[in-house]
Structure 1
Amino acid sequence: MQTLKNIDSTDGEDIEEKIVERRTLTPANIDLDVQKDYKGKIVAKEESMGRDLFRIRDVSAPNLVNKFSLIQEILDNYVDVAIYCDFPGVAMRLVGDFEKSMGRDLFKIRKVWDPNLEEEFALIRATVDEYPYVAVYSEFPGVVMRPVGDFKNTVDYNYQALKGNVNISKLIQLGFTFSDEKGNFPTDGTGKYLVWQFNFRGFDLTKDVYASESIDLLKQSEIDFEKNNNVGIDLSRFGELLMSSGIVLNDEIRWVTFHGGYDFGYLLKVLTGRRLPDTLEEFLKLASVFFPVVYDIKYLMKFCDRVYGGLNKLAELLGVEMIDTCHQAGTRSLLACHAFMKMKDKFFNGSPEKYAGVLHGLVNEED
C-alpha cells in the first residue's frame, strides 16, 4: 500500500500535509502524474483515460445554483470549455425569398399551373437558344398493367408494357431543366437558377387506375392532386405550346433523360394527341422526329466504370448533390441534368454523341 503525503509544490513551498488517496500499485496504474486540483489539493491522475476517471454531474432545477457556483470556482484555472447539445432535431424549414450561398436556395423551381402557362413558355422560348440541353423527368401513376401474350424478345415486351401503360394512364407532372454544354443554367433577375415544373389536371384518384406505391410516394412528396385538378394545366393546351416552344422538332436540342421511355411516351401522346404506335419501330421513328438527339443516362451507364443503380444511387456515386429529397419532377430533372454533365466529362471526354438516340430497355443488348 502507498500513501502520498508531504509533497512539495512546484515552487518549492510546503503545502498542507494531506492523505490524498490510498491505492494498490499494479502494472496498469503504476505510472502516475501528480498535480493540483482546483482547491489546491494534491491529486493522482492516471495517464490512461477511461470512463472511471470521469464523473458526469447531472444538473437539474434543484441543484442548478449549486453547480453554477462550482463552475465559477474553477474558471480561473480551466479556461477551455467544450460544449455539445442534444435537441429534438430540425422540425421545420423556413420558406420564403431568402438567399444562401449554396444548395437548394441557388435554384428556383418555377411551378407552372394553368394561369401562368403562357408566361412560362415565353420565358422558355427566350432560354432555349442559349441553353440547348433539356433534362426531362415525368411523374405518372406508375406501372398499372403488364402485357400478356407472345413477344419477339425482351425489348418487344418492354415496349408493349410502355405503350399499354401510357395509353391508359395520365401524366401528372413534368420537369424541365435547361443548361448549356458546360452545365450552366439560366437565371432569373435575382440570380437564381431556373427549373420548370408543370402540373397537369386530369388524373382523378377516385376514377383512374394507378399503382398504389407510386401515388403514395407522390403524396409523401407533397404533390397536391386536388390543386392539380383545380388549377392544373390542360394537356392539349400544353401540347400546343410545347410544339411552338422551339424545343421539339429541333436537331439543335439535346434531350437528357434517365430510363426515358416513359418520359418520351407521355410527351409523344401529348404532342400528337394520339395513342402510341403499335410497334417499337414506329415509336422510335416518331420519337426521332420530335426529339432528334436524346441521351438516356441509364443507357450511357453501360459504358462507364463502377456506376450502377437508379438515379439517386448514380448521383451518390458521382458525388452529385441532391438539392431536395422530394420526389417531384422539377428537382428530379435537375438531378438528371447534374448527373449527365458529370458523366459526360468524366467518362466521355465531353462528347457522348456516338451513344445518342438510344432509350434504355428499348434496344437489344447486342446492338
Structure 2
Amino acid sequence: MLYHPPPPPLVLPAAEVRDVWAANLADEFAYLGALLPHFPVVHVDTEFPGTVHDSATPRHLRGPREVYALVKRNVDALKPLQIGVALSGAAGRCPVAWQFNLRGFDPRVDPHAPASVALLRAQGMNLAAMREFGADPAAFAAGFFHSGLGLAGRYTWAAFSGAYDFAYLVKVLSGGMPLPETVEEFMALVRALFGPAVLDVKRLARVCGDKGIRGGLDQVAAALGVERAAGRAHCAGSDSLLTCDVLLAMVDRFFRDKNVLAYSGAIVGLV
C-alpha cells in the first residue's frame, strides 16, 4: 500500500476578516472548504438584532428549559444579521475568518431591540448594504453544506456563550423553521447538524485555573492576554476570530493534560 504523506503546512496571509456578500458567496465557501482539511476546528459567532422577549425570573435562577424557551421565542421572532466563521487545527489558527452578511432584515418593519441595532451600526454594520447586497440565508445554507461544513462529526465546533449562536445557525440551516419545542430536541438537532464535538468557550473559561475566568468574550480574552487580531467587537467575523484565539490560549495553558472534548455539549444555559 502506497504511503501518501500529509500535505505541507499552508502559507497564509496575515490575519484578516473577509466580508462575504451574495456576489462572492460561492467563491468564499469554496475557499473555506479547501482549508477545512487543514483546520478542522470551526469557531462561530452570530450577530442578530438584540432580543425582544425576556423573563421575569432572575438570570441565575433560570434552568435549562426556561433559558431555552426564551432563546426559542427570540430566535423564532428575529432575523440573523451576520455569521462569522474562523478555523483552527494542529498548526494553529487559520489567519482568515469569514463574515457572512445576510439579507432580509429591515429595521423599518422587522422586530428588533433598537439599542442593539444602534450598537451594531456604531460598530460598522451597514444594514442598508446588507439588504441590497447581502447573501440570502437559503443560499448560505446551501453553501454551508456544499463546502463540507455539514459533514456532521468530522469537525469540532466552538462558540462563546453559544446558545444563540447555535440556535441561529440551526434556524438558517433549517430554512427558517421554528426551533424545536424542547431543549432536549434542540440539543439532539445540534448533534445531528454539527456532530458530538460542540464546545462552549465560556463554559471552558469557568474551569480554567483554580477559580476560572469570568466575563464576556473581551473580558476573558483580556484575562488571557489575547488581543483582537482583526476587526471590531460585535462584528461576527472578528468575534469568531477572537473566540478561536481565546480557545487556543486556553488549550495551551489549561488543557495540556486534559481532554477539552470532555466538555462537549455543555452549552452555557442549556445544560
Q: Are 2:107 and 1:205 equivalent residues in the alignment?
A: yes
Q: Are 2:263 and 1:355 equivalent residues in the alignment?
A: yes
Counterpart CA distance in 2 for 1:229 and 1:347 is: 43
Q: Are 2:154 and 1:252 equivalent residues in the alignment?
A: yes
The DSSP-based 3-state class of the residue aligned with 1:289 is: helix
* Identity percentage of aligned residues: 38
Counterpart CA distance in 2 for 1:184 and 1:164 is: 35
Identify the structure with the greater helix proportion: 2
The DSSP-based 3-state class of the residue aligned with 1:184 is: strand
1:177 corresponds to which of 53, 73, 86: 86
1:302-327 Cα deviation digits (max 9, x unpaired): 21134111000000000101234442
The DSSP-based 3-state class of the residue aligned with 2:147 is: coil
Instruction: Say if 1:182 and 1:356 are closer, same or farther in 2 by CA, change over 3 A.
Output: farther
Which residue in 1 is equivalent to 2:183?
280
2:144 corresponds to which of 242, 245, 252: 242
2:14 corresponds to which of 89, 103, 106: 106
> Offset at 1:113?
0.2
What is the letter of the counterpart of residue 328 of structure 1? C
Counterpart CA distance in 2 for 1:216 and 1:183 is: 35
> Offset at 1:358?
1.4
Q: Higher RCO, 1 or 2 (CA under 8 Å, sep at least 6)?
A: 2
Which residue in 2 is equivalent to 1:337?
244
Q: Is the 8 A contact 1:249 1:289 kept in 2?
A: no
What is the letter of the counterpart of residue 215 of structure 2? G
Counterpart CA distance in 2 for 1:197 and 1:246 is: 18
Instruction: Say if 1:182 and 1:357 are closer, same or farther in 2 by CA, change over 3 A.
Output: farther
Which residue in 1 is equivalent to 2:28?
120
1:235-259 Cα deviation digits (max 9, x unpaired): 0111111122211233120111000
What is the letter of the counterpart of residue 108 of structure 1? E
Q: Are 2:116 and 1:214 equivalent residues in the alignment?
A: yes
What is the letter of the counterpart of residue 228 of structure 2? M
Which residue in 1 is equivalent to 2:213?
307
> Offset at 1:184?
3.2
Counterpart CA distance in 1 for 2:186 and 2:234 is: 28
The DSSP-based 3-state class of the residue aligned with 1:247 is: coil
Let me know the Cα RMSD of the aligned residues. Answer: 1.8
Unaligned runs of at least 5 residues, structure 1 = 1-104, 186-192
> Offset at 1:107?
1.5
Structure 1 segments (4+ residues) deviating >4 Å: none
> Offset at 1:148?
7.3
What is the letter of the counterpart of residue 308 of structure 1? R
What is the letter of the counterpart of residue 78 of structure 2? S
The DSSP-based 3-state class of the residue aligned with 2:199 is: strand
1:267-326 Cα deviation digits (max 9, x unpaired): 111111211000011000000011111110111122113411100000000010123444
1:6-31 Cα deviation digits (max 9, x unpaired): xxxxxxxxxxxxxxxxxxxxxxxxxx
Q: Is the 8 A contact 2:40 2:154 kept in 1?
A: yes
Instruction: Say if 1:239 and 1:325 are closer, same or farther in 2 by CA, change over 3 A.
Output: closer
Unaligned runs of at least 5 residues, structure 2 = 1-12
Counterpart CA distance in 2 for 1:266 and 1:260 is: 10
Q: Is the 8 A contact 1:182 1:341 kept in 2?
A: no
Counterpart CA distance in 2 for 1:322 and 1:123 is: 23
Which of the pair has more CA radius of gyration? Answer: 1
Give the TM-score normalised by the residue count of structure 2.
0.88
The DSSP-based 3-state class of the residue aligned with 2:268 is: coil
> Offset at 1:211?
1.2
Give the TM-score normalised by the residue count of structure 1.
0.65
Q: Is the 8 A contact 2:207 2:213 kept in 1?
A: no
Which residue in 1 is equivalent to 2:10?
none
Q: Is the 8 A contact 1:133 1:181 kept in 2?
A: no
Q: Is the 8 A contact 1:162 1:261 kept in 2?
A: yes
The DSSP-based 3-state class of the residue aligned with 2:220 is: helix
Question: Alignment length, in residue pairs?
Answer: 250
1:289 corresponds to which of 180, 184, 192: 192
Which residue in 2 is equivalent to 1:270?
172
1:128-187 Cα deviation digits (max 9, x unpaired): 1111011100000111112579xx9621110001001110100101110011134231xx
